[in-house]
Structure 1
């Protein structure tokens, strides 16, 4: 294992935009070693005052086969062409048997990975739910401290818990594929309600007409959902990573959304500010629950007591609800 450095090494390197230091800092925060976690906390505390509040965080998810990596490469090249400093955080699913991940997103985004304005970091999902990695939030902060003003998060894929990524981004984009069966029936209602926009990908060649029909179907379906309360009606677009059609329109849409969310309310704060504040609070509560669970299971004598109660539950001698009560006595 590479020897760790003093916190100032990481803090100064991040503020200077050193990508090697950024990669090492991300490795540090992703580590589950107690010594690394203590050092990571010191680094995060040191860079927090230097994280600009103007960055834009975009979560991107989609059904299997929708072409997320191909889309992100085309979208990312458009953004760097506009001079954006872009960080792409990709989450790869981890094997439930071996725990390993392929982490091959850099090879799928070969052109973007060589762009001097782009930084791509793959991370394993591990045992984290919601399509994100264990330390995605911390990784975003490190990237922003290193000078990246736009963060794209590519999640594992659409699932019931995929909505977790919505709690850490400013704009949530859902990619869909036309002609893949009954799309509306197969989609999870919860994730469609959270999406700020839907994009039908691969809208080129013979698939262009089908993509346009799917756009109309989704647009009609979204009108059935209750309004968000911000005045934003999630639109549905078509795009093609192959031809570039719709890519620039999508970025213009995100900019329009951010302008709307940044308008001050009567109290002087914006929807965007309140959204980020609520995200920080949710993050705190999530970590608090994790710490309480960890401390609970490390109590002296709990292992033997837990095994005895589990045996009673397995044998049918004790109802699970009663077992919980006995466990806390």
Structure 2
């Protein structure tokens, strides 16, 4: 693959080249990883930035419907929108449905939109391991807004905050769990809570649910990266496209305030540090996937099971065999 030519096409907003590049960065093959790293380094010189918006919510809350309606509204305003949707992978077969594109039929037909579903594989936190690389590729391709839809599993999806500039949490009216607003975890990283399906018979219920969450958010400790009034809760209807304009205005206001007060650049710098540490962790874990490591793990595991070694001693032997050095498993050198 000609990395220079591929890079040039991505910078020219070639959608097919962008799709090929995302396939490349998602590959686990060693030769593909080397090409992907070279491509990302080349594209980083363009220094293009998009507004990265993470979005999560429980299954059935209407994430895909919201993204389609929200994306269509942004396109009508002259913006280019990329959607990176992460689907859960089966723990047994490893497969994913990857049906987000079919659920966003109108948006998928727009030339100003790009939709890419990806499997989460074994990566925890609601996003795929290479989603960050896919975001960087979309930015280089000149998209104005990148929407990152997580798998929608609940409280554990905090990794998305390390990918996005703003994080939206989509909730359904009368979910029976309004007091979850005071819990830590995913609620603590949300910049805005959107109560979807605020239409028809559920409109009044959505308004009450919104008030409950607004009250709960006031109990959380104020974060330095938030101006007065944030985080906040709003009602929206993806089906009727109601409240989307207000949500976009609030998103722009928050993003603008963070840019002006230095939190935007600070946040991105901290995210870069996080992904550096994550790359080191993943590289070390990959050394456990070699045939020698698997065989040695099986031998040591049998010794531990038979009482011939303690777990601590076996772990030390394993680390020494990997060339990590004389490291105590507890963390002390």
TM-score by length of 1: 0.91
Match of 2:39 in 1: 43
Work out whether residues 120 and 128 of structure 2, in 8 Å CA contact, stay in contact via their aligned partners in 1.
yes
Deviates more, 1:13-22 or 1:316-325: 316-325
Structure 1: how far apart are the matches of 2:105 and 2:36? 30
Q: 1:293 aligns with which of 271, 276, 285?
A: 285
Q: 1:62 aligns to what?
A: 57
Equivalent pair of 1:51/1:141 in contact (CA under 8 Å): no
Counterpart residue number, 1:267: none
Quick one: which of 165, 169, 174 aligns to 1:174?
169
Contact 2:178-2:212 at 8 Å conserved across structures: no
1:160 and 1:288 map into 2 onto residues whose CA distance is 25
SS at match of 1:140: helix
Structure 2 residue aligned with 1:123? 118
Query: Deviations along 1:206-253, whole A, 9 cap, x unmatched?
Result: 001110111111111111111101343200000001111110110001
**Which segments of 5 or more consecutive residues in structure 2 lack a partner in the other structure?**
321-333
Instruction: Answer whether contact 2:118 2:128 (CA < 8 A) is retained.
Output: yes
- Residues 161-185 of structure 1 deviation map (CA, whole Å, 9 limit, x = unaligned): 3100011100000001112223324
Distance 2:98 2:167 in 1: 23
In structure 2, the CA distance between the partners of 1:301 and 1:153, relative to structure 1 (3 Å rule), is: closer
Looking at structure 1, the residues matched to 289 and 96 of structure 2 have their Cα atoms a distance apart, in angstroms, of 28
Q: 2:101 & 2:128 partners in 1: Cα distance?
A: 17
| 1:275 to 2:267 alignment | yes
Q: Please give the alpha-carbon distance, in whole angstroms, between the structure 2 residues aligned to 1:24 and 1:7.
A: 11
Unaligned runs of 5+ in 1: 265-269
Q: Which residue does 1:26 correspond to in 2?
A: 22
- Picking from 106, 111, 114, the partner of 1:111 is 106
Q: How many residues align?
A: 318
Secondary structure in structure 2 of the residue aligned to 1:175: strand
Partner of residue 94, structure 1: 89
Q: 1:130 offset after TM fit, Å?
A: 1.0
Give per-residue Cα distances to partners, 1:14-50, cap 9 Å, x unaligned. 0111101111111111111111111111111111111
Q: Equivalents in 1 of 2:246, 2:233: separation in Å?
A: 11
Distance in 1 of aligned mates of 2:276 and 2:55? 23
